[in-house]
Amino acid sequence: MLGTKKNILILLLLVVTITLAGCSAGADPAAGEAEAGSMSKADNVEDRYKIEDKGETVTFDDGRGERIELKKNPERVVVLMNSFVDIWVENGGEMVGMVEDPNSVVPGTESVETVGRFGSISLEKVISLQPDLVILSSNSKSSTEMIQPLEDNGIPIMALTYEFKDDYFKISRLFALVNDRIDLYEKTAQNVEKDISEIIERVPDEDNPTVLILFATSKSVSARGSLSTLGEMLNDLKTVNIAERDTLMETTQFSMEQVIAEDPDYILVQTMGSDMEAITERLVSEVESNPAWSELSAVKNKNYVILPKDLYTYKANSRYGEAYEGLAKILYPEVFN
């Protein structure tokens, strides 16, 4: 009898053990899969941009094509490109020096010392601030000329290329990792990417409009293709840029006769410069004064639009979603209005 009770006890213990093991086995893989999925997503983003988070440091390919390793959480940072300032701040960065921006002031940077305007920065002023990181543009000759003297003074450099919207996402990811604030990247840049995707998905696949991009300053008016931020947006929105059709307008060559022959559905104007009166006069003299101007479809249908500079001349950054939506409302009013 005693032996029978002992055997029953052993069997009960085995059943309990197997049951617990089964529950455990059912829980852990699910948790593991969730964790693996999250890690995979993060890893894919960093693989996409060739960024490696090493814990105390971050490794990435800079705009010169060099593999760079930087320490996280720099304390004395100088930012030498306007478009980088708000990306740095929105991803948890602080600065002791920055390039002066005559067009806008990023909230929270009012007391940061300026080191000159983009294109005319004081190297001596930058060095005097004793930075432990300088962020600059690899597209600008005046900026890249400062790299060697800065490195000779033992100052780490982050030289970055910023041309298209994907560069914004890469730079945001990099800045967030350097500042150990990946939560801010997820809060801002990831949502921007989602907003853009949702807008593009709503764009019709057929009967897409033709467009002409004009770039106007006080001295000239030129046509632009898709190799610009605005051109990329319009391409994403499935428009046909007439400046790229049948070599209509090579590079920035501009011909009103060719525009009249193509008769685009929309004419969108980027402006550069603070003297809008002079820019308007240039548009009138080179474009609007043409006798055939008023007969263009874009003009007759009130689809001749001068775009706001903050979204379409300068980098929109965290406002890219707003920029895409603004264009979508112009191009596809029946869908987006």
CATH code, domain carrying 294: 3.40.50.1980
Residue whose structure tokens are 């005559």: 102
Average pLDDT over residues 227-247: 89
Please report which residue ranges of the chain form alpha helices under DSSP H.
Answer: 2-49, 82-90, 123-128, 141-144, 147-152, 165-178, 182-187, 189-201, 229-236, 256-262, 276-283, 297-300, 309-312, 320-331, 333-336
Please give the pLDDT value at position 301: 96
Instruction: Assess contact for 311 and 322: CB atoms under 8 A.
Output: yes
Looking at the structure, tell me whether residues 299 and 209 fall in a common domain: yes
Predicted confidence (pLDDT) at residue 39 exceeds the cutoff of 80: no
Predicted confidence (pLDDT) at residue 83 exceeds the cutoff of 80: yes
Average pLDDT over residues 16-27: 40
Torsion of CA 27, 41, 57, 148, to 10 degrees: 180
Is there a domain that residue 326 lies in?
Answer: yes
Looking at the structure, tell me whether residues 123 and 250 fall in a common domain: no
Tokens of 96: 């002791």
Query: Rounded to whole angstroms, how far apart are CA atoms 220 and 237?
Result: 27
Please give the pLDDT value at position 253: 63
Looking at the structure, tell me whether residues 268 and 163 fall in a common domain: no
Is there a domain that residue 25 lies in?
Answer: no
Instruction: Assess contact for 99 and 114: CB atoms under 8 A.
Output: yes
Is there a domain that residue 121 lies in?
Answer: yes
Q: What is the CA radius of gyration of the chain?
A: 28
Is there a domain that residue 281 lies in?
Answer: yes
Is there a domain that residue 109 lies in?
Answer: yes
Count of beta carbons in the 10 Å neighbourhood of residue 55: 6
Q: How many domains does the chain have?
A: 2
Q: Which domain holds residue 272?
A: 203-336
Looking at the structure, tell me whether residues 90 and 172 fall in a common domain: yes
Question: Which among 220, 216, 316 has a CA at the least distance from the CA of 272?
Answer: 216
Domain boundary among 187, 217, 241: 187
